[in-house]
Structure 1
Amino acid sequence: MDKPTHHFSELFKQLGLDDDPVEIERFITTHSPLDDDVKLVDAPFWSEGQRAFLKESYTADADWIPMIDQLNEALHPAKK
């Protein structure tokens, strides 16, 4: 069975964050760049529930992983 495909905004909604494009951009701008040595799940701005969701998604190989990876890349922009 194929895993469902989620949109980036749905991840924000799942995390209890505003899922409108302006608010998503504001979140990313406010919280990035994360230091290279800070894992996404260890970022200081997550609540315990948000952190648990992110960890459990990886542990369970959940269908959220592509969107979580996209958020990780957005918060850890490549250095030029």
Structure 2
Amino acid sequence: MDTGHHELAELFAQLGLDNSAQAINDFVLAHPLPEPVSLLEASFWSPSQAAFLRQSLAHDAEWSDAVDTLAALLQQRY
């Protein structure tokens, strides 16, 4: 069992998204998230991606830093 913390690129891979630096940047630019909207409520996630993110924040500390980083990046773009 992996008990380390994961980086943003690993989170993108886990979500089934291209995890290159350019793809992550493009995703952030294309998906601004207004502050009242939670990352978990964003309409651009598939049901399985949303479930993974929800589970990661609720029960899986090893992913929580990467999920929080992604949320902050998306909210900065709004």
Q: State whether TM-score is above 0.5.
A: yes
Q: Report the Cα offset of residue 40 of structure 1.
A: 0.2
Distance 1:58 1:6 in 2: 13
Amino acid aligned to 2:36:
D
Out of 57-66 and 16-25, give the one that drifted further: 57-66
Distance 2:17 2:77 in 1: 24
Superposed CA RMSD in Å reads 1.8
Query: Offset of 1:42 from its aligned partner?
Result: 0.3
Aligned residues: 77
Where does 1:48-67 land on structure 2 (aligned, <5 Å)?
48-67=47-66
**2:24 alignment partner, SS class:** helix
What's the % identity of the aligned pairs?
Answer: 39
Structure 1: where are the runs of 5+ without partners? none
TM norm structure 2:
0.90
Tell me the equivalent position of 1:19. 19
Structure 2: any 5+ residue segments left out of the alignment? Answer: none
More helix by percentage: 2
Runs of 4 or more above 4 Å deviation: none
Q: TM-score, normalised by structure 1?
A: 0.88
Per the alignment, residue 45 of structure 2 pairs with: 46
Aligned partners of 1:53, 1:59: CA distance in 2, in Å?
10
The alpha carbon displacement at 1:8 in A equals 1.1
